[in-house]
Amino acid sequence: MAKKQNYAQETCTIEGGEEAVRKANKCAKNLGKATRELPKVNDDGSSECGFAEELYAKREETLDEAHGHLRTLDKYSRWAAEEIKHLKDNLTVILAGKEALHKDSPRNRFSDAEVKLAASCRKLVRLRESIKKVFKLLQKTIKEAYEKQFPGRIPRDNSYSPIVDFVDPASDTASSQNDVVLDDELGGIIAMGPIDGPDIR
C-alpha cells in the first residue's frame, strides 16, 4: 500500500511558517486594539458614537481573519512536527552509518550531513515554539473579542452605499440578481460560526 502523503509537504516551508507567524502576530495586535477601542453600545444597538456599528463590523472582519490565521498556524505546526521527526530519524541513520566507517573522507561527508540536519532541526524547533506563542496569543485575543459583541445581531458596515442600477422588479433580470444576492447571503451564513482553536501539540 502506498504511503499516504501529507498535504502540507508540498506547501509548507520554514520561511512560509515564519511569515505566517509574523502575520498572525500582527493580526492579534490589530484585533486587540480594535476590540479595546469599541464604543459602548446599548442593548437596543444605540450608542453615543454615531458610527459604533461600523466599528463593530470592521472588528468582526479582523476576527474572521484571526480564525484563518489559527488554521494556518495549526497546519504549519503539524508540518514542522512531522519534519522534525523525519530529520531526527535521518540523523539516527547517519550516526549509525558513521560508526561503521573507518576512513576519514566518508566520515567527513557524514559530518557535513549531520551539521545540515541538525541546523534544519533547530530552525523547525524554533518555528514551532514561535507558533505556539502566537497561537496562544491569538486564542486569548479572540476570546476577549467574543466578550464584547454588538447586541442583538451581526453588525453591519453602513459607512458606504454601493451604487446599484435600477432594475424593474418584474423583469427576469431582477429575479436573476435577487438569486445571486441570496446565494451570496447563504454562502456567508454557512461560512460563519465560531471555530474551536486546534490543539498545538
Percent of all residues in the chain with a pLDDT value above 70, rounded to a whole number = 65
How many residues belong to the chain?
A: 201
**Residue labelled with grid coordinates 484585533:** 31
Pairwise CA distance, residues 13 & 51, whole Å: 42
Give SS3 for 57: helix
- pTM of the entire structure? 0.66
Q: Is pLDDT of 4 > 60?
A: no
pLDDT of amino acid 98:
60
pLDDT of amino acid 7:
44
- pLDDT digits 0-9 by tens, 25-68: 999 999 999 999 989 988 887 888 888 889 999 999 999 999 99
Count of other CB atoms within 10 angstroms of residue 140:
12
pLDDT of amino acid 149:
87
Instruction: State which of 8-12, 59-63, 163-167, 168-172 shows the largest mean pLDDT.
Output: 59-63
Nearest to 26 by CA among 145, 147, 137: 137
Rg of the chain in Å (alpha carbons): 26
Torsion angle (degrees, nearest 10) of CA 44, 50, 51, 56: -30
pLDDT of amino acid 14:
94
- Residues whose CB is less than 8 angstroms from the CB of residue 120 and which lie 6 or more positions away in sequence, other chains included: 14, 83, 87
Q: CB–CB of 40/47 below 8 Å?
A: yes
- Alpha helices (H) in 10-51, listed in sequence order: 14-36
pLDDT band at 100 (very low <50, low <70, confident <90, very high): low
Percent of all residues in the chain with a pLDDT value above 90, rounded to a whole number = 40
